[in-house]
Chains A and B, each alone.
Chain A
């Protein structure tokens, strides 16, 4: 089945340290990949996407993600984490007709 996997349940990182949230995908053809963030009691917010071209894509709030076709990965990164980055992060792949298939999500906890 075409899908994404987020192998870690929770990512803990100290404020100021680099943050990485992992995502691997399993789709046929060229994938359209997305990252969303969900804060408590709020809807999902779009962070960034990979469609084609440069493997390093930059998004909102200082986040970036690297598409790696050989490793079928699309890890989300931020050079210096903030306490306000603590949230639930979802990786998603766009299937036919633009329906999104989401991973189970990663809770990110940034420790002051």
Chain B
């Protein structure tokens, strides 16, 4: 399977702990996105990378959140000092595209990492 993969699929942690999620995009895709989805809602944009550069961060991404994409391949999303409000499904997506027509390319999503903060 050459789709987007995410690890772990489920994570249960205690409030205050740090967690890190990994995303492996489709290999030829230069863009990588992180979204967060809570029950009954559509995914909300968090941040995205073009190759290794992080080009945009949502205001939803507090200082406790950090994302990296070293070497423009896989990406990690770290949440420090987790709070119960961080409980959600964290989705990663990748796509082709650059420049003005980048929005025309569909994004391919991974299965998500479900985070539960107790």
A interface with B by C-beta (< 8 Å): 32, 34, 36, 41-46, 49, 51, 90, 92, 94-105
Contact = CB atoms under 8 A, between A and B. Distances in A.
Given A46-B106, A98-B48, 5 more contacts: A45-B109, A51-B104, A98-B33, A101-B45, A102-B44
B25 interface: no
B96 to A, nearest CB: 10
Given A44-B91, A46-B108, A98 B97 contact: yes
A98 B109 contact: no
B111 A100 contact: no
Q: Which 4 A-B pairs have the closest CB atoms?
A: A102-B42, A94-B103, A43-B109, A44-B109
Interface string B83-108: 00000000101010100001111111
Contact of A99 (B41, B48, B108, B109): B48
A3 to B, nearest CB: 10
A99 B106 contact: no
Nearest to A4: B42
Interface string B5-37: 000000000000000000000000001010100
Contact of B112 (A43, A96, A105): A43
Contacts, number: 64
A86 B55 CA distance: 36
B107 A100 contact: yes
A102 B56 contact: no
10 contacts: A32-B104, A41-B111, A42-B111, A44-B43, A45-B109, A46-B107, A92-B42, A97-B102, A98-B105, A100-B43
B4 A43 contact: yes
Given A97-B56, A98-B31, A99-B33, A105 B42 contact: yes
